[in-house]
């Protein structure tokens, strides 16, 4: 069964450093998402992406964050200058269609630890 | 976004059915009812969704009240692998993002 993959599984970085989290969505999917989950808290929506542009973003997704689909298979989340509070699990998801009837498929996550 | 209310936690015995309730009294006519679950140390996983009629798939059944103000996720025969946090989510038909609540932590007793 096709699945969303994410690399790395764990990233440790120093505060102020840039990180890039990578995702390979399911191949025929057109809609891509990033979510994050701080330890012990709810899963939070960050951004949705379609047709090479952001379709929606949350208040969390400020100027420090950016997303890109650099080629036909990868979808990346960049955090320009990491802060301690960016430590969280970051989940990528993809879906074939959009709207309230679609199914989003989530990857296993990248655990980001900012020291 | 319309809100859902779920119990914080539930327990069930292995190999027995589990009924996970969800209240959504402010649901609108265009809201779909979705259920996702999150196994320990994993990403969320789609379980089932519906609009008005009851739905069945290989994972579970979704029973939707006639007034749509509540729904129940039914796991017909729980296994230890079903221990997870179960999220009941309302999504407008135009809404791409998923807004997760705290969900119900389901414990399965062997």
- Residue B1 reports pLDDT greater than 80: no
Tokens representing residue B92 in the block: 């407008």
Are A41 and A35 in contact by the 8 Å Cβ rule? The answer is: no
- Residue B64 reports pLDDT greater than 60: yes
- Residue A89 reports pLDDT greater than 70: yes
pLDDT at A33: 97
Percent of chain A with pLDDT over 70: 100
Say whether B96 and A44 touch across the interface (CB within 8 A).
no
Are A6 and A73 in contact by the 8 Å Cβ rule? The answer is: no
Antiparallel, parallel or unpaired: β B9-13 and B104-109: parallel
C-alpha distances in angstroms, B10 versus B32, B33, B85, B107? 24, 20, 10, 6
Say whether A100 and B30 touch across the interface (CB within 8 A).
yes
Dihedral, CA of residue A81, residue A85, residue A87 and residue A90, to nearest 10: -80
CA A87 to centroid of chain Cα atoms? 13
Are B61 and B49 in contact by the 8 Å Cβ rule? The answer is: no
Q: Look at residue A3 and give its three-state secondary structure.
A: coil
* DSSP summary character for residue B5: B
CA distance A99 to B93: 5
Q: What is the pLDDT of residues A27-37, one digit of tens each?
A: 999 999 999 99
pLDDT at A1: 80
Say whether B38 and A43 touch across the interface (CB within 8 A).
yes
Residues of B in contact with A109 (CB under 8 A): 42-43
pLDDT at A99: 85
* DSSP summary character for residue B67: T
Calculate how close chain B gets to A28, using CA atoms only, in Å.
Answer: 17
B99 touching A (Cβ < 8 Å): yes
Percent of chain A with pLDDT over 90: 90
Q: Which residues of B22-59 are buried (b: 16+ CB within 10 A; e: fewer)?
A: bbbeebeeebbbbbbbbeeeebbebbbbbeeeebeeee
For residues B87-93, average pLDDT: 94
H-helix or E-strand spanning residue A32: strand A31-37
A3 touching B (Cβ < 8 Å): no
Calculate how close chain B gets to A23, using CA atoms only, in Å.
Answer: 13
Calculate how close chain B gets to A34, using CA atoms only, in Å.
Answer: 10
Q: Which of A56, A9, A8, A10 is nearest to A32 (CA)?
A: A56
Residues of B in contact with A99 (CB under 8 A): 91, 93-96
- Residue B90 reports pLDDT greater than 90: yes
CA distance B61 to A81: 45
pLDDT at B93: 86
CA distance B39 to B77: 17
- Residue B2 reports pLDDT greater than 60: no
For residues A55-81, average pLDDT: 95
Q: What is the mean pLDDT of chain B?
A: 95
């Amino acid at each position: 069964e096709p699945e969303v993959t994410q690399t790395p599984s764990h990233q440790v970085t120093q505060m102020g450093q840039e990180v890039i989290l990578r995702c390979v969505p399911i191949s025929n999917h057109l809609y891509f998402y990033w979510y994050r989950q701080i330890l012990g808290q709810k899963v939070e929506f960050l951004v949705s992406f379609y047709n090479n542009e952001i379709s929606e973003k949350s208040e969390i997704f400020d100027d420090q964050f950016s997303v890109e689909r650099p080629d036909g298979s990868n979808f990346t989340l960049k955090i320009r200058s990491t802060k301690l509070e960016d430590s969280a699990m970051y989940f990528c998801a993809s879906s074939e269609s959009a709207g309230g009837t679609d199914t989003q498929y989530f990857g296993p996550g990248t655990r980001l630890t900012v020291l | 976004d319309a809100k859902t209310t779920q119990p914080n936690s539930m327990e069930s015995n292995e190999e027995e059915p589990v009924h996970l309730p969800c209240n959504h009294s402010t649901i609108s006519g265009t809201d779909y009812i979705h259920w996702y679950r999150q196994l320990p140390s994993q990403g969320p996983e789609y379980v089932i969704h519906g609009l008005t009629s009851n739905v069945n798939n290989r994972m579970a059944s979704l029973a939707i009240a006639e007034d749509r103000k509540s729904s129940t996720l039914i796991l017909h025969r729980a296994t230890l692998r079903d221990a997870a946090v179960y999220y009941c989510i309302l999504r407008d038909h135009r809404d791409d993002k998923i807004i997760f609540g705290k969900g119900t932590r389901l414990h399965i007793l062997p």
